[in-house]
Structure 1
């Protein structure tokens, strides 16, 4: 007899969506009967494709009131609907993903007496706040209460994310399990020169890129500040941002005002991310905070050296001096210096490219992530 597993997620796009899609795709379906309760307002092509792939074998349950924004009326409706679905399914295991589903899903499961409840925060909302504001204290209280009373284990996507929670007293260390975000070994090999020509990038240009949503967490302001400083030193740099977001218009305006817009390419959302990673000479991440970003793992898989802000998550993917460089968050000149060094030292760049791919193979393959999560599921039964 199969064991009923329910995955609950408000967002099924970007990093959270990728993680949920991988669980759907790779978990043992001879052992688990999988249900997915999900929001409908933040989805992407990966989730649409996985629904088609597993139609009839995985049950997908949309909840239109499950939204990112805090809205007491909508949230109460979503809670009631989630609770109703859980009651009808009678799951053996519930696994909630990210903040909103983590709150509503865990409370709903607890109210029904479901004992095997797991949670993956995918970066705590508190990580983006350095001071004890009322908002941060509110988030902390919720996480602490639900971790203690309504969660069997919390899966963290990095050691740093786990330590952050332990240091804040969310729960004791043995409550947390680290399972790195991971990828299959499949990578699409493309012709970077053809894409460079398609975009109108000069053949001799040194390309620095990022794949991320344009919003506060990813700190695109520092990405473009670094771009400006590099272009002042060498006009042969070019910069690509793959992704969309609420800061798109503001960043385009900033680049125009700074006089660098002609050297910057905002290409929007792209399915063929590997093609851009193959084109990048350096992947630049300027994030304020992270859980553990899939895009850096993708960069390593594509043998692309990384320059990244030294924040939780980034600093477990990047070993500074091995597969890239870390720089103190906000210290843009340090980021500039690291990229300049990679441009000037081709041997170092090649060495870091190879080291990155080897690090991906050692720590970040999909089999490692799935086997760890499956083990805790099965051991709880």
Structure 2
């Protein structure tokens, strides 16, 4: 008799293309789905979502429409939904879903795992206090970095580590699929085309993990449309355009670099509330021809592969997935020491770090990498080696599966 699969319900407010959201399908592809069955319940519909990626990863997606505060009116619906579907574990992501999960589990015996993707000080007052007051009403709180774990410890209501308490805090650092995220070269593109053609002839499809390396027509045409001269250095970033990323400072650093290296181009992949202001800043600089804002992209590997430096000016972070993906594609990093970034990048090995308030120093480090090609090559290889060794998706998923089994066994 085959073993009954463990049914895990991922609970999240929305399914945009943020790092927390993208981890759900990416981890599902690595999990042993002979032993685990994954569903995802979300509440706020967005046009640019990742539903197709969830479904391609074998996850069944459900929607209960709701606003932020309206989530508290959905407790009974969610509780009924869980009972009817016989879920074994709730895995909630980000504060609003975490608060909801704790209300649902208050009168319903189901283990709750919650992943915290950021430090608490950065949340608005409503989500901060809702998270803090309910925090102990769950089984495991997963921190994506040591700094996030420290934030939990310092901000939790009463002592989260009290002996005999229900809550356990564990650090599971984010990971990336290093087989999928590899620097794209013409030889690698040709190999993937041949593999895809052979799989089609044999009547079988390539795995999602393999085919996702193949850029779709939109990504290819966008890459061509960038019109960046061959051999010109590119500094880039993949991000949601929100205030924590401080992209106005990113542009300011770029403009300072252009004063010394006028041939460099700058590439931003993503979108968000700050896009209009960033475009205005770029246009007013008179250097718009050196900047490329390509919007949200489903396939980011072609863009990461074109970058020579991954530049981050963030004020705060959890542990950014996009940065790990860039490193896996052999892109060295120049960044502020925000959140978990300092836990990944060893200064002078895989890139360079500055303190958050000392963002101006990002310029000189970028210039150093642009001018010293041997150093750049050394750091590029070290970046990928670092991810393979310490931040692989396989390692991350293995640690999550241990947590799932432990909560079912009562820890």
The equivalent of 2:117 in structure 1 is: 122
Q: Structure 2 stretches of 5 or more lacking a match?
A: 190-219
Whole-angstrom distance in 2 between the partners of 1:151 and 1:89: 20
Q: CA deviation at 1:208?
A: 0.6
Assess, with a 3 A threshold, how the Cα gap between structure 1 residues 142 and 197 changes in structure 2: closer, same or farther. closer
For the 8 Å contact 1:157–1:292, the answer to whether it is kept is yes
The equivalent of 2:8 in structure 1 is: 5
Whole-angstrom distance in 2 between the partners of 1:377 and 1:43: 32
Q: 1:199 aligns with which of 204, 218, 226?
A: 226
Assess, with a 3 A threshold, how the Cα gap between structure 1 residues 53 and 93 changes in structure 2: closer, same or farther. closer
Match of 2:251, SS state, is: helix
For the 8 Å contact 1:214–1:246, the answer to whether it is kept is yes
Match of 2:118, SS state, is: coil
Whole-angstrom distance in 2 between the partners of 1:49 and 1:218: 25
TM, length-normalised to structure 2: 0.82
Assess, with a 3 A threshold, how the Cα gap between structure 1 residues 265 and 314 changes in structure 2: closer, same or farther. same
Match of 1:236, SS state, is: coil
Match of 2:284, SS state, is: helix
The equivalent of 1:87 in structure 2 is: 83
Q: 2:148 aligns with which of 133, 147, 161?
A: 161
Whole-angstrom distance in 2 between the partners of 1:169 and 1:109: 19
Q: CA deviation at 1:206?
A: 1.9
Whole-angstrom distance in 2 between the partners of 1:260 and 1:110: 56
The equivalent of 1:271 in structure 2 is: 298
For the 8 Å contact 1:8–1:37, the answer to whether it is kept is yes
For the 8 Å contact 2:28–2:57, the answer to whether it is kept is no
Match of 1:304, SS state, is: coil
Match of 1:322, SS state, is: coil
Assess, with a 3 A threshold, how the Cα gap between structure 1 residues 42 and 196 changes in structure 2: closer, same or farther. closer
The equivalent of 1:178 in structure 2 is: 171
Whole-angstrom distance in 1 between the partners of 2:263 and 2:329: 23
For the 8 Å contact 1:190–1:275, the answer to whether it is kept is no
Q: CA deviation at 1:348?
A: 0.9
Q: CA deviation at 1:259?
A: 2.2
Q: Structure 1 stretches of 5 or more lacking a match?
A: 130-134
Q: CA deviation at 1:311?
A: 1.0
Assess, with a 3 A threshold, how the Cα gap between structure 1 residues 169 and 103 changes in structure 2: closer, same or farther. closer
Assess, with a 3 A threshold, how the Cα gap between structure 1 residues 43 and 376 changes in structure 2: closer, same or farther. farther
Q: CA deviation at 1:46?
A: 4.3
The equivalent of 2:331 in structure 1 is: 304
Whole-angstrom distance in 2 between the partners of 1:219 and 1:380: 39
Whole-angstrom distance in 1 between the partners of 2:57 and 2:343: 33
Assess, with a 3 A threshold, how the Cα gap between structure 1 residues 324 and 194 changes in structure 2: closer, same or farther. farther
Assess, with a 3 A threshold, how the Cα gap between structure 1 residues 294 and 253 changes in structure 2: closer, same or farther. same
For the 8 Å contact 1:97–1:119, the answer to whether it is kept is yes
For the 8 Å contact 1:305–1:353, the answer to whether it is kept is yes
Q: Which has the higher contact order (CA 8 A, sep 6+)?
A: 2
Assess, with a 3 A threshold, how the Cα gap between structure 1 residues 337 and 187 changes in structure 2: closer, same or farther. same
Whole-angstrom distance in 1 between the partners of 2:96 and 2:340: 21
Q: CA deviation at 1:243?
A: 0.6
For the 8 Å contact 1:96–1:106, the answer to whether it is kept is no
Q: CA deviation at 1:8?
A: 0.8
Q: 2:73 aligns with which of 52, 72, 77?
A: 77
For the 8 Å contact 2:24–2:54, the answer to whether it is kept is no
Assess, with a 3 A threshold, how the Cα gap between structure 1 residues 357 and 52 changes in structure 2: closer, same or farther. closer
Match of 2:32, SS state, is: coil
Whole-angstrom distance in 1 between the partners of 2:154 and 2:76: 33
Q: CA deviation at 1:60?
A: 2.5
Assess, with a 3 A threshold, how the Cα gap between structure 1 residues 93 and 43 changes in structure 2: closer, same or farther. farther
Q: CA deviation at 1:273?
A: 0.9
The equivalent of 1:322 in structure 2 is: 349
Whole-angstrom distance in 1 between the partners of 2:340 and 2:83: 36
The equivalent of 1:143 in structure 2 is: 131
For the 8 Å contact 2:223–2:303, the answer to whether it is kept is no
Q: CA deviation at 1:222?
A: 1.0
Assess, with a 3 A threshold, how the Cα gap between structure 1 residues 118 and 194 changes in structure 2: closer, same or farther. closer
Which stretch has the larger CA shift, 27-36 or 177-186?
Answer: 27-36
Whole-angstrom distance in 2 between the partners of 1:281 and 1:3: 43
For the 8 Å contact 2:175–2:321, the answer to whether it is kept is yes
Report how many aligned residue pairs link the two structures: 364
The equivalent of 1:63 in structure 2 is: 64
Which stretch has the larger CA shift, 185-194 or 210-219?
Answer: 185-194
Whole-angstrom distance in 2 between the partners of 1:203 and 1:87: 58
The equivalent of 1:132 in structure 2 is: none
